[in-house]
Chain A
Amino acid sequence: MVNKDFKVIGKPFRKVDARAKCVGQTKFADDIVLPRMLFCKLLRSHLPHALIKSIDVSKALALPGVFAVITGKDLPIPYGILPVSQDEHALCVEKVRFIGDPVAAVAAIDEDVAFDAMNLIEVEYEPLNTISTIEEAVLIDEPRIHDYGDSGNVHKKVSLEFGNVEEGFAEADLVREDTFFYEGNTHLPMEQHAAVAHFDSDGKITLWSSTQTPHYVHRALAKVLGLPASHIRVIATPNGGGFGGKSDPFNHEVAVCKLAMITGRPVKVTLTREEVFYCHRGRHPVLMKVKTGVKNDGAITAMHFQSYLDGGAYGSYGVASTFYTGALQTVTYDVPRYKFQGIRTFTNKPPCGPKRGHGTPQPRYALEVQIDKIAEQLRLDPAEMRRKHLVPPNTVTANYLRIGSMGLGECIDRVVEGSDWKNRFQKLPNGKGIGIACSSYICGAGLPIYWNNMPQSGVQLRLDRQGGVCVMCGSTDIGQGSDSILAYIVAEVLGIDPFDIRVVTADTDLTPVDLGSYSSRVTLMTGNAAIQAAERARELLVMAVAEKLGVPIENLSLAERRVFDVENPDVGVSFVEAVVLAESKFGTIGTVGSYSPPRSPGKFKGSGVGPSPAYSYSAAVAQVDVNPETGIVVVEKVWIAHDIGRSINPTLVLGQVEGSVYMGLGEILMEEMTYRTNRNVVHKFPSMLEYKSPTTMEMCDVETYLIEDPDPNGPYGAKEVGQGPLLPVPPAVANAVYDAVGVRIDEVPITPEKVVRALRDKSRGREARYGPVSVPPVSWPDPLRVLTPAEGGDGTEMPHVAVHT
């Protein structure tokens, strides 16, 4: 079926929408202008936690040019991305939970009038005490930020044990316990979120929005607006950067729809940069405690991983994020027994959610830095130690994740060789250092966000008698090139040029459902669905052409816009003629394809997070220069190898790897969402100037190696690349800092102050380390116990037995 001699796959075609983006023609959400359009502004809370006593909108409504003002009572139905966390209102009803929580929305003739009207709304608040840290949330039950969750201000507690970890620790030659903290950071997409709603006189509403998940927005709108889902159309505009930050249904999206319904006019909202910081849904701050037992050769005997997440004010994806902080520890190095405990807390800060790597960069940082410490203690080379204990391909891990292809060994080899590791590790002059780390990431989640038995991705193809091919899919191009991937794959199967194809995506009226651009699912899932749809179209074409030419079907090949006899290539028809023959024989030509991931072997409660059709792997070596006087860390170069399975387009793959390295550098060196805890939990710097992110002056050279080991579950063997390559970068830099100046910075980001403090401690004979020393006291529930596959487990939980320890 799969022809090895690809015409499109693996070739560096430009993206199908690249030129439009370079001439200013791409229409982002804020570029949409409709006749009679009104502008919306949201009034946001200036208090972090307060009851709403009253809201008076009369002065705002009286302002000339104001058409409507709505408050929480106009939108009483809650929503949220996860079925278990329906805890958001478009506009707060009874209380506000963080600075930036919206309480009212205005529609006015222009943005200036809307802004003036917003300032005329009078809200009477009764301030409540705030919860601002993980520790406070664990220790202080009242006031509760939400009236649901496991207890007090604890949103979710998870406790899972695979095999008996205590037995594993008893077998170990060395047991290490370390604590780490990974500060929260945000996506900072260059495009601020924007949306335009249009309500027509037949009672149908259309929303254009910069969202990564139009299908989920569609579902949320149907719930909140009280309209039949069939009357709602959501069109995701090309996203000006997403990184996970546009994956939730947002209050501004609901508000403009409601305002459009009330006013009968189109309504637009565009967030300011400050508001984007409040929308957030970014990286959770996570405190971690890791206990790992190893044999003298570095083989892990058991691991106990604890995560403490600061969730901010709402649920968002947080339950999934919590499980993700404990899911992928087992897929790189063999971990025969594994225990995970995770707790997510509510605090009065902007809600956290999924950011590139969703819940996994934090534990990966902890794991890879601890491995580095273990290697040092065992006097082993950290690269060799990792290389020696890899999870074998085609196995099931202790926590029931099925591993397919596994190219991490080759990834390690390539970066070790490329960086001249053996001659440089522990051999560079003081101040210069080199560090290594590895990682893995899912290629889409095994289960959908809401329970159903339908495919996760659908593709529809239409071929017309002019030879036009249109591919329709619900996926959203957020810059990663998903529209292009669809075109490349269909072009490969049908033997035409990708630029012959029209791609229509992310429109809930026109395109079959795809769950959205998150969890690195799109290339694998839409790719497989596209192959199926295209193969079905191909079948119709060759049947019609075979009949016409009198050639056996199996002899026909599609390439270079022709359908021809492989044994006698001159005998054939053009692609257009083939479509005409097929349409004459079968009627209008349209095919569909869909994709559902394979079933996971895990059947215990909580087994839904972590399974994936395939896992990508990455290894990185970072070289740093650390100034011992100032503590400034300069990353000079990163060598990174990524197991992509197969590159559908190497240019796009390299772009994702480089972008991931960049974002990983931002996280490890400078990016942090921080709040003035003593002054009302206000964000310290909701601006692009003060929220430091790498400019051209901070970005380093990157040497990328792509490992192509096709995975049987990937389209043409392809695996993900959008998120995985970020993961090894922060720990590789931290390990390099240790190699350079001999201090462990167990807290992200590694800012100059932390380096200086650790160096000062070192010079005074104290522990040469900066980082957390303890975790808050949590009463964990008895873990749900599951026998590992090696112990003969079947993936179900063991019956509960009282254990006295």
Chain B
Amino acid sequence: MPLHSKKQIGFTLNGEHVEVAFAPHKTLLEVLREDLNLTGTKHGCELGECGTCAVLVDGRSVLSCLMLGLDAEDREVKTIEGMAHGAELHPLQQTFADLGAAQCGYCTPGFLLVAEELLKKTPNPSRAEIQEALSGNLCRCTGYLKIYEAVELAAQQIRGE
């Protein structure tokens, strides 16, 4: 079955070089979850509608369900598993946990990575900028408000205020 014969690629995943072989039609989401066993990246629709599977590729947020795994070759991919520095949580992870921004927690990895991208570009975002940046991520639990508060507090901490 040539369709299923695997292709091998290498890329940087959470700061480490990985080599992985997988069927070429697989999405990055499937490669991460099924071939690299990183199940922190979630899926809500697998059609690019909900933002749940967002990861960072070369620092930019990408819906991993819409990107072929093969397209990750030689690029830098960051998932939720790579967000903390060792045992120390990223400020966003800390504030999401402390302020109740993660209820069921299923959409949380996607929100965290998109928020990280936002704070890299915009260290002091307004509420409207946060809303705009997170508008591609759906959350059914929180009504988003605690998420905004967590992003704002983390931004403050990162700025050293």
Contacts and interface: CB of A to CB of B under 8 A. Distances in A.
Interface of A: 14-15, 17-28, 30-31, 33, 112, 187-192, 238-243, 272-273, 478-481, 651-652, 654-655, 658-663, 687-689, 693, 695-697, 699, 701-702
Given A15-B97, A191-B104, A23 B83 contact: yes
17 contacts: A14-B97, A22-B94, A22-B105, A22-B112, A23-B84, A24-B40, A24-B80, A24-B109, A239-B104, A651-B100, A654-B100, A659-B103, A659-B141, A688-B45, A695-B138, A696-B130, A696-B132
Interface of B: 4, 23, 33, 37-47, 49-50, 52, 79-81, 83-84, 89, 93-94, 96-100, 102-109, 112, 130-132, 134-146
A22 B97 contact: yes
Contact of B131 (A652, A662, A697): A697
A31 B104 contact: no
Contacts of B103: 479-481, 655, 659
Contacts of A697: 131-132, 135
B75 to A, nearest CB: 20
Contacts of B84: 23
A688 B41 CA distance: 18
Contact of A21 (B45, B97, B134, B136): B97
A239 B104 CA distance: 7
Q: Interface majority SS on B: helix, strand, loop or mixed?
A: loop
Nearest to A665: B143
A699 B139 CA distance: 11
Nearest to B104: A479
Contacts of A23: 40, 80-81, 83-84, 89, 93
B47 A273 contact: yes
B81 A190 contact: no
B141 A33 contact: no
A693 B138 contact: yes
Given A27-B39, A651-B99, 16 more contacts: A19-B97, A21-B105, A24-B39, A24-B109, A187-B140, A189-B104, A190-B107, A241-B141, A651-B100, A659-B103, A663-B140, A687-B45, A693-B138, A695-B138, A696-B130, A702-B143
B142 A658 contact: yes
A190 B44 contact: yes
Nearest to B79: A24
B85 to A, nearest CB: 12
A684 to B, nearest CB: 16
A28 B42 contact: yes
A479 B33 CA distance: 22
B13 to A, nearest CB: 13
Given A22-B112, A702-B143, A28 B106 contact: yes
A273 B45 contact: yes
B38 to A, nearest CB: 7
Given A22-B93, A272-B46, A241 B106 contact: yes
A775 to B, nearest CB: 33
Contacts of B89: 19, 22-23
Question: When A and B form their complex, which 8 residue pairs have the shortest distance between CB atoms, in order from nearest?
Answer: A24-B40, A479-B104, A21-B105, A240-B106, A662-B143, A24-B80, A18-B97, A31-B39
